[in-house]
Structure 1
Amino acid sequence: MENITALGGDVYEIDTRMAGFSGITAGYLILSDRPCLVETGTSTSAPVVRDALHHLGVGPDDLATVVVTHIHLDHAGGVGDIARYFPSADIVVHEKGARHLADPSRLMASARMVWGDRLDTLFGELSPTEASRIRALGDTGAVDLGNGRTLASHYSPGHAKHHVGLIDSSTGDLYVGDAAGVYLPQTGDLRPVTPPPDFDLDTALNSIALFQALAPERLLFSHYGPVQEVEDILERSAEELKIWVDLTRQAKSEGMDLDHAVAMVRDRTRGRYTALQADDETAEQFELLSGAPSNVAGILHWLDRVAP
C-alpha cells in the first residue's frame, strides 16, 4: 500500500490521509510481539488506518494497544472507531485526557465552536470508547510491547495539558506528538503549534528540554514523519516558540486586536518558511497544520494569564 512506509525496527509509518491530504498526519504501527498503534488520526481516517494495519498482517484481535500523544482530533479523533475495529486493544492516554475519550461531548462541542462546519470534513466525529478499555497514564508510564520492549511515556504539556511523548526502548524513537511543533519534510520547515487554551511557554520549553534529556535516536513527528537531526530540530523548536511569542507580545503591547496581531506575526515570520514560498498546496498544508490565527490566539491567551 502506497500510504505505508517501513522505517526500520519493526516500525511502519501510516499516512492517515486527513481530509484526503497526503503528508499531513501520520500514525505509526510498532509491529512488535504486542503490536501497538501510536496515533489514530481523525475519525474520517479510521478506515484508512484499519486497512493499513490489515495489510501489515494485524487482524481485528491482533492489535494489543492504541496510544495517543494527546486527545486533539487530528491525533485521537479515530480512537473510538479504531477501538471498535480492534476489540482486543487497550486504549492508552494521559489521565487528563481519559474522560474525554470515554465521553467526547465537551471536546466535540468546543471543536465545533472553533471549526464550525469545517469540522465534519477535516476531522469527523470522535466516537466514545468504553471506559473499561481506557488505561490512563500518570506523568510517567510504560506500554508493554512484548519481549522486554517498552514504550515509555513522559508527560510533556505546553501544547496541551494532556500531552505525552513516547520513547521506544528498542529503537530510541521518540514520538513527539505536537510538543516539538510541525515538521514539513518536503521543505524541512519547522513551525510551532501553540493553540488555546493550554499553551504555556515555560511549560513548552521544559517539554522540549525533557525530550533533549531523553537523548532519542530519532524523532517521529505526527506531522510529519521521521527526523534524524534530533538535537538541531529540538533547538529549532525552542527557537521558533520564542520568536512567535516575542512577536505576539510586541503586537499585544502595541494594542493590536487578534486580526492585526495575526497579520503582523504572519508577515514577520513568512520568510522563515520555505513552504510559504512554495506551491499553493504546500503552503495550504502548512497553514492547516500550524495556522497563524490559532498560534497567535493561543499565545495571546497565555499572555493574558501571565501578564494581563
Structure 2
Amino acid sequence: MQGLSAFGNGIYAVDSGYTGTDVAAIHLIEEGGRAALVDTGNNDALVHVEQALAETGLSPEAVDYVLLTHIHLDHAGGAGAFIRAFPNAKLVVHPRGARHMAEPSKLFAGVSAVYGPERAKALYGELIPVPADRIIEATDGLELSLAGRTIRVFDTPGHARHHVCYLDTKSRSFFTGDTFGLSYRQFDVDGRPSIFPTTTPVQFEPDAMHDSIRRMEAEQPVAMYLTHYAQVTDVPRLAADLHRLIDAHVAIAERHAGAGEARKQLIEDDIWALVAEEAKRGGWKTSEAETRRILALDVELNAQGLDVWLGSR
C-alpha cells in the first residue's frame, strides 16, 4: 500500500513514511477541488503529502483543513510544518490540544519522557508552533464544510482525553486516529483485517474507550479510516473484537497490579501472549519474528499505558 491509495468518495491514504511503510497513514479528503488532511505524521511526511496533492491535481492552496485526531506526535508532529506549507488551511484540534499546537514545548517534553530525548528528536525533529488565529477547536458536534461536504466532530476519549474522530457524512465513514485501534495490512488474511487496541502511555481509560467505540458504532459507518493503517470495513465484527481485546488488556493489567517493579514487564509479556492468540485466531501469515517486529513499539506503549493506568486508579 506504500504511496497514495484511493478508496473512492474522494478519500485517499498517503503513507507518511513514519518509522517505515504502511505504519501511519495521512488521509486526504477531496471535494470540489478543495482538500482536507487527517493527521500529519511528522515533519518528514510533508513531502509525501505535497506529492499526493500534485498527483490528485490539487495545489497547496486547495487545502482548507488539517484535521488532527489527537496531539500524539505520530499524528500531529508535522502540524506546524503543514500549516506553514498550506497557506489557506486551518488546524482543527481538540480544545485540550490547541494550546500545545500553539506552544509545543511542553508537548515535546512529554514525548521525550516517553521515548527519551534523543529518540524523540530523531523521530520528530523540531516542532513548529501554529499561529493561534489558524486554530479551530474541535468541540463535540462541530460541523465543518469542505466545499459543501459535511465533516462532523465526535469527542472520543479513551486513548487520550484530547482525542476526536471525524465523521465524513458523504461516505458514512469515520477517521478514527487511534480510538478504533490498530489494523496493519500485513496481518490481513484474504482481505479480512484484524484489529488491536492501543492503550497509550499516559491517558488510557477503558470505560471511555468502550463508550467512544459504541458511539461511533451507533452511526452505522460503512468504513473506518485508521491512522495505523487506513481503511477497514466489516465494522461490527472489528468493533466486537476491540471491545473483547480492551477487556483482555484490562484483565492483564489487573492480574499484575501488585507486582511492583516487575509489573510493566509482566504486563508486556502477557500482551505478547495475547498477540499470539490473536495471530492464531486470525490465521496471520507473518512469522512470529515478523509479527514482533511490526508490533514491537505498539506492545511496548500498550504496556506503558496499562502500567500508568494502574498507578492512576
Tell whether the structures are fold-level matches, with TM greater than 0.5. Answer: yes
1:305 to 306, 309, 312: 312
1:205 to 174, 193, 210: 210
Map of 1:192 onto structure 2: 197
Map of 1:177 onto structure 2: 177
1:277–1:7 Cα change, 3 Å: closer
Map of 1:287 onto structure 2: 296
Structure 1 stretch displaced more, 23-32 or 58-67: 58-67
1:91–1:247 Cα change, 3 Å: same
1:264 to 262, 270, 278: 270
| C-alpha displacement of 1:303 | 2.5
Give the total of aligned pairs: 302
1:276–1:206 Cα change, 3 Å: farther
Q: Deviations over 1:65-103 (max 9, x none)?
A: 110111111111111111111111111111111111111
Gaps of 5+ in 2: 188-192
1:8–1:277 Cα change, 3 Å: closer
1:2–1:271 Cα change, 3 Å: closer
- On the 8 A contact 1:270/1:276 being kept in 2, the answer is no
Map of 1:120 onto structure 2: 121
| C-alpha displacement of 1:51 | 2.0
Letter matched to residue 226 of structure 1: Q
Map of 1:44 onto structure 2: 44
Letter matched to residue 105 of structure 1: S
Gaps of 5+ in 1: none
Map of 1:219 onto structure 2: 224
| C-alpha displacement of 1:296 | 2.1
Name the CA distance, whole Å, in 2 between partners of 1:27 and 1:40: 6
| C-alpha displacement of 1:302 | 2.0
TM-score (norm 1): 0.92
Q: Deviations over 1:105-131 (max 9, x none)?
A: 000011112112222333333211111
- On the 8 A contact 1:184/1:286 being kept in 2, the answer is no
Map of 1:64 onto structure 2: 64
RMSD of equivalent CA atoms:
1.9
Q: Deviations over 1:39-68 (max 9, x none)?
A: 111122122222222222221211111101
1:165–1:23 Cα change, 3 Å: same
- Residue 142 of structure 2 aligns to a residue whose secondary structure is strand
1:141–1:191 Cα change, 3 Å: same
Q: Deviations over 1:201-254 (max 9, x none)?
A: 111111111111111111111100111101111111111110011011101145
Aligned sequence identity (%): 31
TM-score (norm 2): 0.90
